[in-house]
Amino acid sequence: MAVPIRTAVAALCAGLAATLFITVPARADQDAGSHVQVWAVSGPERAAAAHEPRARVSLDDTTGTLSLSVSHGGRTVIEPSPVGIVTQQADLSQDLRFLHRKDRLVDERYRSKSGKRLERRVLMNETRLSFATAAGARLDLVVRASADGIAYRYVLPAGYGGVLGEASAFNLPPDASAWLSTYRADNEGQFAQHTAATAPTGEYSDQALFATGGGYTLLAESDLTGTYSGARLAHDQGTGTYRIKLADPTVHTDGPLATPWRAMVTGDLATVTRSTFTDDLAPASKVADTSWIRPGTVLWTWLAGGKEAGQSLAAQKAYVDYAAERHWPYEAVDAGWYFKTDEWDTTDPNWQTNSWMPELVEYARAKGVGIIVWIHQRDLDTPEERAQWLPTLERWGVKGVKIDFMDSEAQSMLQWYDTILQETAAHHLMVNFHGSTVPKGIQRTWPQVMTLEGVAGEEKRTNTAAHLTTLPFTRNIIGSMDFTPGAFQRVGLRPNSDAAEVGLTVAYESGLQMFAGTPESYDARPLARDYFDQVPAAWDDTRLLAGRPGREAVLARRSGDRWFLGGVYAGTAHTAEVPLTIGSGRWLVETIRDGAEGLVQDRQVLRGGDSLSVDVVDNGGFAGIACPWRPGVTTCSR
């Protein structure tokens, strides 16, 4: 049957419109007098385009090499940097020719169980640039741009064999200030300040912060799974170049491959600190029912009593009693509570344990306290061990596991992560990873992951005040961080004051905020203890009130109508002036600071936008709560 002309024309127009929406002309913009094709990618917020990051991808027609640069507000953030990947069957870092471009809008909403805020909005422009070599090998470069970052990844069809390495690198202005952590497999290096060029030759963790283009840029990674290998930054002193180096000499693939995102969180310091960019890039949650996942504060007993406490039911019951008295929702039992032996009867429900854990869990449950248990990764590294441990812990009623000593970002260990994430979700066990990788989007995809270590935390005896004031702008930006604050008993082993230690519980975000002190140390500091009674572990919003990496970090986090304040400082005693940018109206502000005889509480009524003045001691800090003020309101406590 003949098709009417008007119908055919309408169909043709619709088809052309759809094509124009997803495909741009095959030829990109070309710099005058050069052999370079250029594609620009910016975020979808057109009204604020001048203030958003913008990526520029270039192809040199002479060499067939790709580069990517990033600007923000018209100023260079990342200088043109090499892009490409090399596999066993094809070198996709050179001799490339452009095929086509497709664009799409990424517009998503999701709810997190923990982090800087619970409600999230993802709004990004995505551009997919397709290239091929003369031999027909294909490479897609996928670039995403949002209001707070630029990211790219490689997508390859099947048949190219293992990945031998990436050409990916980041070229920073040589004089850019840099806050870097020397790479360790457990990600527990100290952050120290350099310039991009003067940093010593070596390898650094990929969460590296640079002051560039009038703002800041944090390098990061997202959507890292066992299909690939973890990345670190390799640097040669004297240059501003930081190259991607993979943990494995060969990444094994058995089909099409999408590499992790190479992310650049960029903007002013407040934007970077508040960003959830690495979570936003990650796949959606794979856990359908998340009602059992409940963030909270935890009485953690390792630094309070060590292994001996872990071996004692009486000691653990006493800790449960204290947590119940304080209405802290969890108590964590660390190493020493179980042992392995081939003589155990694995049909016994108490196998692999010194038998008192089920009794402790029931004792705690009756008092409204959940139990979290430590377990070594080597005891979960086979299917048989996992099939014995995880159902048993679920049957006992254990709420979560603290899994320790992975100490690797090699592909084989990442494949183990993939498995344990599926199985802990199936057995309704929240997870705290120690001796681990860092979040890299894992908390969006697997929301039972409440926190990860991957930080030189409270256990370290070499931390500096500068390190503590850098963490909110580096490691903690990309996800929950189990620093374990509150270890008041470690006087002389930590570089900060008591008030700063209280402030860390807000300055540092963690879905399970583990308090590392002793009950005696809390009772000796009732202001700190009462503050811990109120501090949440999940937040409705987060704002940076004041900050300079390595010098000061003051964060405000909202729960309901109350803002909790945490400030940490490095340097000499002074009066800190903090803009109270938490909203209009009048606020009753209660602060805890260091006094001559211990902690002191102050109360004052301020308007939103006023300056909050707090006396800070050497390497000190403060904690606080701000609640809406009205006549008759005299305290923020509930």
pLDDT, one tens digit per residue, over 261-286 is 999 999 999 999 999 999 999 999 99
pLDDT at 87: 98
Could you read off the pLDDT of 52-87 as tens digits, one per residue? Answer: 899 999 999 999 999 999 999 889 999 999 999 999
E strand or H helix that includes residue 98: strand 96-111
d(CA 366, CA 429): 19
- The secondary structure of 535-579 as a DSSP string is --SS-SEEEEEEEETTTEEEEEEEETTEEEEEEEE-SS-EEEEEE
Amino acid making up residue 271: T
How many domains are contained in the chain? 1
3-state secondary structure 38-70: EEEEECCCHHHHHHCEEEEEEEECCCCEEEEEE
pLDDT at 307: 66
Least confident interval from 146-150, 340-344, 561-565, 619-623: 340-344
Q: Give me the CATH number covering residue 184.
A: 2.70.98.10
Under 8 Å between Cβ of 606 and 612: yes
Does the annotation count 404 as an active-site position?
Answer: yes
177 to 216, 470, 570, 634: CA distances (angstroms):
9, 13, 18, 44
The residue annotated as part of the active site, out of 359, 459, 533, 541, is: 459
Give the residue with greater pLDDT, 214 vs 628.
Answer: 628
pLDDT at 348: 61
pLDDT at 349: 56
Name the residue range of residue 36's domain: 24-281
In a domain, 183, yes or no: yes
Residue 167 — φ and ψ, nearest 5°?
Answer: -85, -5
* Sign of the alpha-carbon dihedral angle for 342, 343, 348, 349: negative
Q: Of the candidates 264, 222, 243, which has an alpha carbon nearest to the alpha carbon of residue 81?
A: 243
Does the annotation count 221 as an active-site position?
Answer: no
Asked if residue 567 has pLDDT above 70, the reply is yes
In a domain, 248, yes or no: yes
Give the confidence band of 354 by pLDDT, cuts at 50, 70, 90: low
Give me the mean pLDDT over the 514-541 stretch. 97
Asked if residue 245 has pLDDT above 60, the reply is yes
The neighbour count for residue 451, using CB atoms within 10 Å, is: 32
Buried b (16+ CB within 10 A) or exposed e, 378-413: eebeeeeebebbbebbeebebbbbbbbebbbbbbeb
In a domain, 128, yes or no: yes
Q: Which residues contact 48 (CB under 8 A, 6 or more apart)?
A: 147
Residue 157 — φ and ψ, nearest 5°?
Answer: -75, 175
pLDDT cut 70: percent of the chain above it:
91
pLDDT at 208: 98
Three-state secondary structure call for residue 153? strand
β-strand partners of 606: 587
Mean residue pLDDT across the chain:
92
pLDDT at 259: 98
Q: Which residues contact 518 (CB under 8 A, 6 or more apart)?
A: 304, 305, 488, 489
In a domain, 539, yes or no: no
The residue annotated as part of the active site, out of 79, 221, 404, 509, is: 404
pLDDT at 311: 75
Give me the mean pLDDT over the 226-243 stretch. 98
Could you read off the pLDDT of 405-457 as tens digits, one per residue? Answer: 999 999 999 999 999 999 999 999 999 999 999 999 999 999 999 999 999 99
Give me the mean pLDDT over the 287-311 stretch. 88
pLDDT at 25: 35
Give the confidence band of 174 by pLDDT, cuts at 50, 70, 90: very high
Give me the mean pLDDT over the 88-95 stretch. 97
Least confident interval from 268-282, 305-319, 326-340, 393-407: 305-319
The neighbour count for residue 609, using CB atoms within 10 Å, is: 11
Asked if residue 5 has pLDDT above 70, the reply is no
Residues in the chain: 638
pLDDT at 638: 84
Asked if residue 528 has pLDDT above 90, the reply is yes
Give the confidence band of 8 by pLDDT, cuts at 50, 70, 90: very low
Give the confidence band of 304 by pLDDT, cuts at 50, 70, 90: confident
Could you read off the pLDDT of 25-54 as tens digits, one per residue? Answer: 334 666 555 799 999 999 997 544 567 899
Give the confidence band of 206 by pLDDT, cuts at 50, 70, 90: very high
In a domain, 510, yes or no: no
d(CA 624, CA 76): 38
In a domain, 111, yes or no: yes
β-strand partners of 65: 60
pLDDT cut 90: percent of the chain above it:
86
The neighbour count for residue 505, using CB atoms within 10 Å, is: 25
d(CA 9, CA 3): 10
In a domain, 50, yes or no: yes
Q: Which residues contact 270 (CB under 8 A, 6 or more apart)?
A: 543, 544, 547
pLDDT at 347: 58
Under 8 Å between Cβ of 146 and 43: yes
d(CA 257, CA 87): 11
Determine the distance from the C-alpha atom of residue 103 to the mean position of all C-alpha atoms in its chain, rounded to a whole number.
28
Q: Which residues contact 486 (CB under 8 A, 6 or more apart)?
A: 458, 501, 502, 504, 505, 515, 516, 517, 522, 528, 532
d(CA 294, CA 594): 33
d(CA 353, CA 338): 5
Q: Which residues contact 213 (CB under 8 A, 6 or more apart)?
A: 71, 72, 73, 75, 76, 77, 266
Q: In this structure, what token pair is assigned to residue 50? A: 């001048």
In a domain, 112, yes or no: yes
467 to 119, 272, 416, 556: CA distances (angstroms):
30, 18, 31, 20
481 to 14, 231, 453, 507, 603: CA distances (angstroms):
50, 19, 6, 11, 30
